[in-house]
Structure 1
Amino acid sequence: MNKKTLVLGASTKPERYSNMAIRKLRNYKHDTVAFGMREGEEHCVVIDTELQDYKYIDTITLYLNPKRQEQYYNYIVSLNPKRVIFNPGTENPEFYNLLKENNIEFEVACTLVLLSTNQY
């Protein structure tokens, strides 16, 4: 099933996990959009540097440390995704509570592992 995914904290550097996630999401045929600090394109996905009003986001996968996430709390909630994935290093109990209050599911997991094990 195609799950439109926003990669938040995307990078054009191939060694970054966010970059690997973009490639793997596209390989698994998921519609993918991305936001990062630097413009670029990876696997036919444009990395936006300005926040967009993306529609029909199923999943947001985070690649920002908890401190950097704070400025995006309201934005993420406003997109009303079905779930948010907290990849290793992004765990954030404060944000979990906000997501719960807004009936948004969250998962502490690795997007790459979820995709590879068919649990995405």
Structure 2
Amino acid sequence: METSNDKKLTVVLGASPNPERYSNMAVNRLKAKGHPVVAIGKRAATIGDTPVITDHPSLEKVDTVTMYLNPLAQKEYYDYILQLQPRRIIFNPGAENEELEQIAREHNIQPVEACTLVMLSTGQF
């Protein structure tokens, strides 16, 4: 059972201001469930009241990085993700990346091939 202390700081990588994109829906649904979200994308924008930033801020206590970038676009974020030391990385459909999943395991980060939206709707987040 979730309590208010169970909110998971989540970094959405590949966040898009386009409401038809799954990354956009994920930011909105995470916020609706009360999870703090940092949205990082290619262009500065906003999703609702959440800014989409282009830099790589230093963050503490990141629970989850949810990935909406293709494997090639992920490479530039490898070091940043490791620096965040998240508990897990969710590789959404189309973002599966065996190389980064292996690197994650070597750094005690759990790789999860799943859909963040499905996990949220089924209570698995």
TM-score range, shorter chain: over 0.9
Find the partner of 2:91 among 86, 89, 97. 86
1:33 equivalenced with 2:38 (yes/no): yes
1:97: how far off? 0.8
Alignment of 1:1-120 (within 5 A): 1-120=6-125
Q: Unpaired segments of 5 or more residues in structure 2?
A: 1-5
Aligned to 2:3: none
Q: Which moved more, 1:44-53 or 1:106-115?
A: 44-53
Aligned length: 120
Contact 1:26–1:43 at 8 Å: present in 2 too? no
Structure 2 counterpart of 1:100, one-letter code:
R
Q: Which contiguous aligned blocks of 4+ residues in structure 1 show a shift greater than 2 angstroms? A: none
Please give the TM-score of this superposition, normalised by the length of structure 1: 0.97
The RMSD of aligned alpha carbons is 0.7
1:26: how far off? 0.5
1:103: how far off? 0.5
Distance 2:49 2:64 in 1: 19
Q: Unpaired segments of 5 or more residues in structure 1?
A: none
1:43: how far off? 2.5
SS in 2 for 1:7: strand
SS in 2 for 1:60: strand
Distance 2:49 2:88 in 1: 24
Please give the TM-score of this superposition, normalised by the length of structure 2: 0.93
Distance 2:16 2:117 in 1: 15
